[in-house]
Amino acid sequence: MVKCPSGKKTYESKELAVDALLHARATFSYSSGGGPIAVYKCEDCGHFHLTSKGKMDLALEAHLKSGKIKLQGEANYWLDRIKKSNW
């Protein structure tokens, strides 16, 4: 994995960064207006990073509007509960 001088996590392609963005939004609880909303190509390392600034990524916007992020978040919650219950 390439190290960026900024210390931020790097993604080799925009597609991988968008996947990570969608995963983060479904996995973590962000306050209203918080959390990553887009990806950008870094001028320092040439790879992609997540950002909470700028215009929302179109894929994220579509997943939020369709409810997919919420559904995946609920699925993640129940999977964690099952794992912790020693089934």
9-67 confidence digits (pLDDT tens): 999 999 999 999 999 999 998 888 889 999 999 999 999 999 999 999 999 999 999 99
Domain ranges (residues) in the chain: 14-84
* The pLDDT of residue 86 is above 80: no
All residues at 6 or more sequence positions from 45 whose CB lies less than 8 Å from its CB, including other chains = 2, 3, 4, 5, 6, 10
Given this model, what pLDDT does residue 35 score? 94
The angle subtended at Cα 3 by Cα 76 and Cα 43, nearest 5°, is 100
- Helix, strand, coil shares of the chain, percent, nearest 5, are 45, 10, 45
Q: What's the pLDDT at 56?
A: 95
Tell me, what's the pLDDT at 32? 81
Residue 87 confidence (pLDDT):
62
